[in-house]
Copies of this chain bind each other. A is one copy, B any other.
Amino acid sequence: MAQAIPTPTEQTALPAIEGRNLEIRYDDTTVVAQANLHVNAGEICCLIGKSGCGKTTILNTLAGLVTPTQGSVLSFGEDVTGKPGSIGYMLQKDLLLPHLRIIDNAALPLLLKGQAKQEARETAARLFPTFGLEGTEGLWPHQLSGGMRQRVALLRTYVTGARCLLLDEPFSALDAITRADMRSWFTKVTQKLGLSALVITHDVDEAVSLAQRVYVLAGNPRLGQPSTIHAEIHVERNESPNGPFELTEEFLQAKRSVWAALQDNAQ
Protein backbone atom coordinates (compact mmCIF):
# COMPACT_ATOMS: atom_id res chain seq x y z
CA MET A 1 0.00 0.00 0.00
CA ALA A 2 1.20 3.44 -0.88
CA GLN A 3 2.52 5.66 1.82
CA ALA A 4 0.21 8.61 2.30
CA ILE A 5 2.32 11.70 2.65
CA PRO A 6 1.20 13.39 5.85
CA THR A 7 0.46 17.06 5.52
CA PRO A 8 0.05 19.30 8.50
CA THR A 9 -3.26 20.77 7.37
CA GLU A 10 -5.40 17.70 6.79
CA GLN A 11 -6.45 14.75 8.88
CA THR A 12 -4.73 12.05 6.91
CA ALA A 13 -7.14 9.41 8.11
CA LEU A 14 -9.88 10.63 5.79
CA PRO A 15 -9.51 10.12 2.02
CA ALA A 16 -9.14 13.26 -0.07
CA ILE A 17 -11.89 11.95 -2.31
CA GLU A 18 -14.05 8.88 -2.07
CA GLY A 19 -16.83 7.43 -4.18
CA ARG A 20 -19.01 4.98 -2.27
CA ASN A 21 -21.10 2.43 -4.06
CA LEU A 22 -21.70 4.72 -7.04
CA GLU A 23 -24.41 4.02 -9.59
CA ILE A 24 -24.60 6.50 -12.46
CA ARG A 25 -27.06 6.59 -15.33
CA TYR A 26 -27.75 8.65 -18.43
CA ASP A 27 -31.39 8.44 -19.35
CA ASP A 28 -31.98 4.70 -19.53
CA THR A 29 -28.35 3.57 -19.72
CA THR A 30 -26.63 2.58 -16.48
CA VAL A 31 -23.01 3.45 -17.09
CA VAL A 32 -21.47 2.67 -13.73
CA ALA A 33 -22.74 0.45 -10.94
CA GLN A 34 -21.47 -0.44 -7.47
CA ALA A 35 -18.23 1.39 -7.94
CA ASN A 36 -16.07 2.09 -4.89
CA LEU A 37 -12.88 4.06 -5.08
CA HIS A 38 -10.94 6.57 -3.07
CA VAL A 39 -7.76 8.59 -3.07
CA ASN A 40 -6.00 9.12 0.23
CA ALA A 41 -4.60 12.49 1.13
CA GLY A 42 -1.27 12.99 -0.58
CA GLU A 43 -1.77 10.00 -2.82
CA ILE A 44 -1.86 9.76 -6.62
CA CYS A 45 -4.15 7.12 -8.09
CA CYS A 46 -4.84 6.31 -11.70
CA LEU A 47 -8.07 5.18 -13.28
CA ILE A 48 -7.73 3.14 -16.39
CA GLY A 49 -10.16 1.26 -18.56
CA LYS A 50 -11.42 0.84 -22.08
CA SER A 51 -12.64 3.76 -24.09
CA GLY A 52 -16.29 4.44 -23.31
CA CYS A 53 -16.41 2.39 -20.15
CA GLY A 54 -17.24 5.30 -17.86
CA LYS A 55 -14.03 6.86 -16.56
CA THR A 56 -15.04 10.41 -17.41
CA THR A 57 -18.46 9.72 -15.97
CA ILE A 58 -16.89 8.74 -12.65
CA LEU A 59 -14.72 11.85 -12.60
CA ASN A 60 -17.75 14.02 -13.38
CA THR A 61 -19.46 12.42 -10.43
CA LEU A 62 -16.52 12.85 -8.07
CA ALA A 63 -16.31 16.47 -9.15
CA GLY A 64 -19.95 16.92 -8.19
CA LEU A 65 -21.09 17.74 -11.72
CA VAL A 66 -23.19 14.62 -12.04
CA THR A 67 -25.33 13.33 -9.21
CA PRO A 68 -25.17 9.55 -8.94
CA THR A 69 -28.46 7.70 -8.87
CA GLN A 70 -27.02 5.78 -5.93
CA GLY A 71 -24.07 6.16 -3.62
CA SER A 72 -22.25 9.20 -2.40
CA VAL A 73 -19.08 11.21 -2.80
CA LEU A 74 -17.00 12.33 0.17
CA SER A 75 -14.06 14.68 0.27
CA PHE A 76 -12.05 14.73 3.52
CA GLY A 77 -15.10 13.23 5.18
CA GLU A 78 -17.51 15.84 3.91
CA ASP A 79 -20.40 14.82 1.68
CA VAL A 80 -19.88 16.61 -1.64
CA THR A 81 -22.27 14.53 -3.76
CA GLY A 82 -23.52 16.80 -6.52
CA LYS A 83 -21.65 19.79 -5.10
CA PRO A 84 -18.94 21.02 -7.42
CA GLY A 85 -16.29 23.58 -6.57
CA SER A 86 -14.04 22.14 -3.93
CA ILE A 87 -12.04 19.77 -6.11
CA GLY A 88 -9.79 20.76 -9.01
CA TYR A 89 -10.98 19.10 -12.22
CA MET A 90 -9.34 19.06 -15.62
CA LEU A 91 -11.94 17.85 -18.08
CA GLN A 92 -11.17 15.66 -21.07
CA LYS A 93 -11.99 18.47 -23.51
CA ASP A 94 -9.76 21.47 -22.93
CA LEU A 95 -12.71 23.89 -22.89
CA LEU A 96 -10.68 27.04 -23.11
CA LEU A 97 -12.97 30.04 -23.30
CA PRO A 98 -12.67 31.35 -26.86
CA HIS A 99 -13.21 34.96 -25.87
CA LEU A 100 -10.39 35.12 -23.34
CA ARG A 101 -6.72 35.37 -24.20
CA ILE A 102 -4.53 32.48 -23.04
CA ILE A 103 -3.25 34.35 -20.00
CA ASP A 104 -6.79 35.09 -18.87
CA ASN A 105 -7.90 31.54 -19.51
CA ALA A 106 -5.06 30.38 -17.32
CA ALA A 107 -5.81 32.93 -14.63
CA LEU A 108 -9.54 32.21 -14.64
CA PRO A 109 -9.69 30.24 -11.37
CA LEU A 110 -7.99 33.12 -9.58
CA LEU A 111 -10.39 35.62 -11.08
CA LEU A 112 -13.25 33.42 -9.95
CA LYS A 113 -11.80 33.55 -6.46
CA GLY A 114 -11.96 37.30 -6.62
CA GLN A 115 -8.33 38.11 -7.19
CA ALA A 116 -7.52 41.32 -8.99
CA LYS A 117 -6.97 40.83 -12.70
CA GLN A 118 -3.40 42.05 -12.72
CA GLU A 119 -2.37 39.96 -9.78
CA ALA A 120 -4.08 36.87 -11.18
CA ARG A 121 -2.36 37.34 -14.50
CA GLU A 122 1.02 37.67 -12.86
CA THR A 123 0.52 34.53 -10.81
CA ALA A 124 -0.50 32.58 -13.89
CA ALA A 125 2.23 34.06 -16.06
CA ARG A 126 4.89 32.85 -13.68
CA LEU A 127 3.86 29.26 -14.50
CA PHE A 128 3.96 29.62 -18.29
CA PRO A 129 7.61 28.55 -18.71
CA THR A 130 7.05 25.46 -16.57
CA PHE A 131 4.31 24.39 -18.98
CA GLY A 132 6.33 25.31 -22.07
CA LEU A 133 3.85 28.01 -22.92
CA GLU A 134 6.08 31.09 -22.92
CA GLY A 135 5.18 33.45 -25.73
CA THR A 136 1.52 32.40 -25.91
CA GLU A 137 0.16 34.67 -23.17
CA GLY A 138 -1.44 37.16 -25.53
CA LEU A 139 -2.83 34.71 -28.08
CA TRP A 140 -6.41 33.54 -28.46
CA PRO A 141 -7.18 29.85 -27.86
CA HIS A 142 -7.84 29.18 -31.54
CA GLN A 143 -4.25 30.13 -32.26
CA LEU A 144 -2.79 27.30 -30.17
CA SER A 145 -1.99 23.73 -31.10
CA GLY A 146 -3.90 20.89 -29.48
CA GLY A 147 -1.11 20.03 -27.07
CA MET A 148 -0.65 23.66 -26.12
CA ARG A 149 -4.34 23.96 -25.32
CA GLN A 150 -4.13 20.87 -23.16
CA ARG A 151 -1.25 22.36 -21.22
CA VAL A 152 -3.19 25.56 -20.68
CA ALA A 153 -6.06 23.49 -19.32
CA LEU A 154 -3.67 21.67 -16.97
CA LEU A 155 -2.12 24.92 -15.86
CA ARG A 156 -5.57 26.32 -15.21
CA THR A 157 -6.48 23.32 -13.08
CA TYR A 158 -3.27 23.59 -11.10
CA VAL A 159 -3.89 27.28 -10.53
CA THR A 160 -7.18 26.53 -8.77
CA GLY A 161 -5.05 25.67 -5.76
CA ALA A 162 -7.33 22.74 -4.91
CA ARG A 163 -5.79 20.13 -2.59
CA CYS A 164 -7.35 17.32 -4.55
CA LEU A 165 -7.17 17.11 -8.34
CA LEU A 166 -9.09 15.05 -10.86
CA LEU A 167 -7.30 14.89 -14.21
CA ASP A 168 -8.92 13.38 -17.30
CA GLU A 169 -6.17 12.30 -19.72
CA PRO A 170 -4.04 15.32 -18.91
CA PHE A 171 -1.09 14.40 -21.11
CA SER A 172 -2.77 12.62 -24.01
CA ALA A 173 -2.00 15.31 -26.61
CA LEU A 174 1.63 15.78 -25.59
CA ASP A 175 4.69 14.44 -27.29
CA ALA A 176 6.83 11.96 -25.40
CA ILE A 177 9.38 14.46 -24.15
CA THR A 178 6.98 17.17 -23.06
CA ARG A 179 4.89 14.44 -21.50
CA ALA A 180 7.77 13.10 -19.47
CA ASP A 181 8.65 16.63 -18.37
CA MET A 182 5.10 17.41 -17.33
CA ARG A 183 4.76 14.12 -15.54
CA SER A 184 7.88 14.55 -13.47
CA TRP A 185 6.93 18.13 -12.70
CA PHE A 186 3.55 16.87 -11.58
CA THR A 187 4.98 14.16 -9.34
CA LYS A 188 7.30 16.64 -7.71
CA VAL A 189 4.71 19.29 -7.16
CA THR A 190 2.13 16.93 -5.70
CA GLN A 191 4.69 15.59 -3.27
CA LYS A 192 5.90 19.02 -2.29
CA LEU A 193 2.43 20.42 -1.70
CA GLY A 194 0.88 17.20 -0.47
CA LEU A 195 -1.74 17.21 -3.17
CA SER A 196 -3.92 14.22 -3.96
CA ALA A 197 -4.89 13.28 -7.47
CA LEU A 198 -6.96 10.84 -9.45
CA VAL A 199 -5.66 10.65 -13.02
CA ILE A 200 -7.27 9.00 -16.00
CA THR A 201 -4.71 7.77 -18.48
CA HIS A 202 -4.53 5.25 -21.27
CA ASP A 203 -0.83 4.74 -20.92
CA VAL A 204 -0.12 1.83 -18.63
CA ASP A 205 3.48 2.89 -18.13
CA GLU A 206 2.32 6.31 -17.16
CA ALA A 207 -0.22 4.91 -14.73
CA VAL A 208 2.29 2.74 -13.01
CA SER A 209 4.98 5.36 -12.79
CA LEU A 210 2.61 8.02 -11.48
CA ALA A 211 0.30 6.16 -9.15
CA GLN A 212 0.47 4.53 -5.79
CA ARG A 213 -2.64 2.61 -6.76
CA VAL A 214 -4.23 1.91 -10.15
CA TYR A 215 -7.96 1.28 -10.49
CA VAL A 216 -9.09 -0.70 -13.49
CA LEU A 217 -12.63 0.04 -14.56
CA ALA A 218 -14.35 -2.54 -16.75
CA GLY A 219 -17.69 -3.05 -18.41
CA ASN A 220 -19.50 -2.11 -21.58
CA PRO A 221 -22.38 0.19 -20.77
CA ARG A 222 -23.51 0.62 -24.38
CA LEU A 223 -24.04 -3.11 -24.57
CA GLY A 224 -25.92 -3.23 -21.30
CA GLN A 225 -23.06 -4.10 -18.97
CA PRO A 226 -22.54 -1.33 -16.44
CA SER A 227 -18.91 -0.78 -15.55
CA THR A 228 -17.50 -1.34 -12.11
CA ILE A 229 -14.08 -1.35 -10.47
CA HIS A 230 -12.62 -4.56 -11.75
CA ALA A 231 -9.22 -4.44 -10.06
CA GLU A 232 -7.15 -2.29 -7.74
CA ILE A 233 -3.42 -2.65 -8.20
CA HIS A 234 -1.01 -1.43 -5.54
CA VAL A 235 2.24 -0.21 -6.93
CA GLU A 236 5.07 -1.16 -4.60
CA ARG A 237 7.92 1.28 -4.64
CA ASN A 238 11.36 0.55 -3.31
CA GLU A 239 12.06 3.22 -0.74
CA SER A 240 15.66 3.74 -1.90
CA PRO A 241 15.88 2.77 -5.53
CA ASN A 242 19.22 2.67 -7.26
CA GLY A 243 18.01 3.99 -10.61
CA PRO A 244 14.79 5.24 -12.12
CA PHE A 245 11.70 3.45 -10.88
CA GLU A 246 10.76 2.58 -14.44
CA LEU A 247 13.71 0.21 -14.62
CA THR A 248 12.91 -1.70 -11.43
CA GLU A 249 11.35 -5.09 -11.07
CA GLU A 250 8.48 -3.60 -9.05
CA PHE A 251 7.57 -1.39 -11.97
CA LEU A 252 7.47 -4.29 -14.39
CA GLN A 253 5.43 -6.35 -12.01
CA ALA A 254 2.84 -3.65 -11.48
CA LYS A 255 2.68 -3.07 -15.19
CA ARG A 256 2.05 -6.72 -15.82
CA SER A 257 -0.74 -6.79 -13.25
CA VAL A 258 -2.44 -3.82 -14.86
CA TRP A 259 -2.16 -5.33 -18.30
CA ALA A 260 -3.53 -8.58 -17.03
CA ALA A 261 -6.49 -6.83 -15.44
CA LEU A 262 -7.18 -4.95 -18.63
CA GLN A 263 -6.86 -7.96 -20.88
CA ASP A 264 -8.70 -10.17 -18.51
CA ASN A 265 -11.69 -8.00 -19.13
CA ALA A 266 -11.16 -7.77 -22.88
CA GLN A 267 -11.98 -11.46 -23.33
Contact = CB atoms under 8 A, between A and B. Distances in A.
Interface in A213-254: 222-223
B147 A52 contact: yes
A76 to B, nearest CB: 29
Contacts of A177: 50, 262-263, 266
B92 A146 contact: yes
A23 B123 CA distance: 36
Interface in A166-203: 169, 172-179, 202-203
A193 to B, nearest CB: 25
Contact of A222 (B55, B136, B146): B136
A92 B135 CA distance: 22
Contacts of A263: 177
Contact of A175 (B51, B134, B144, B174): B51
Interface of A: 26, 48-52, 54-56, 92-93, 132, 134-136, 143-148, 150-151, 169, 172-179, 202-204, 222-223, 259, 262-263, 266
Given A202-B176, A202-B179, A51 B151 contact: yes
Nearest to A49: B175
A99 B140 CA distance: 26
A143 B177 CA distance: 33
Nearest to A26: B143
A194 to B, nearest CB: 29
A58 B89 CA distance: 32
Given A134-B222, A222-B135, A266-B177, A169 B143 contact: no
Nearest to A173: B172
Given A51-B132, A135-B222, A56 B173 contact: no
A179 B172 CA distance: 13
Contacts of A50: 175, 177-178
A174 B148 contact: no
